[in-house]
Structure formats: structure tokens, C-alpha cells
Amino acid sequence: MRWFDLKRTGRAIEVMNNAKGVGGASLGYHLDENRLFWPIPQAELDKNSNLTQNPGY
């Protein structure tokens, strides 16, 4: 599945945190709720006072 499919179906945290590489080694992702959304660029926040930064940024 692709990233946006994982987010849309609510499976992103489960799938990414359990991802395995070649040989079964963990890929070391530590995804949490705060990392499901990207940060809003500071320039956009400066232009529009109605925007608030996404949690965790």
C-alpha cells in the first residue's frame, strides 16, 4: 500500500512501525499520531493567522 492509502484506511502507524527490511530486520520506524501530517510551512502560517501548526511541529 502507498502512504496515502495507509493514512486513509487508518493503518499507517501499524504498518510502518512493523515494517521489515531484507532479512527480516526492523526498519526502525517509530511513527506516532503527530507524524501523520506534515508541518505547515512557516511562510504560510505567517501569511494566515487563522492557521495553526500541526501537532508535533
Instruction: Report pTM.
Output: 0.65
Q: How far is residue 2 from each of residues 7, 10, 35, measured CA to CA in Å? A: 9, 12, 16
Domain ranges of the chain: 3-47
Q: What is the pLDDT of residues 2-55, one digit of tens each?
A: 989 999 999 999 999 999 988 999 888 888 998 888 999 999 999 999 999 999
Task: Please state, in angstroms and rounded to a whole number, the distance separating the CA atoms of residues 37 and 47.
Answer: 20
List pLDDT tens digits, range 44-55. 999 999 999 999
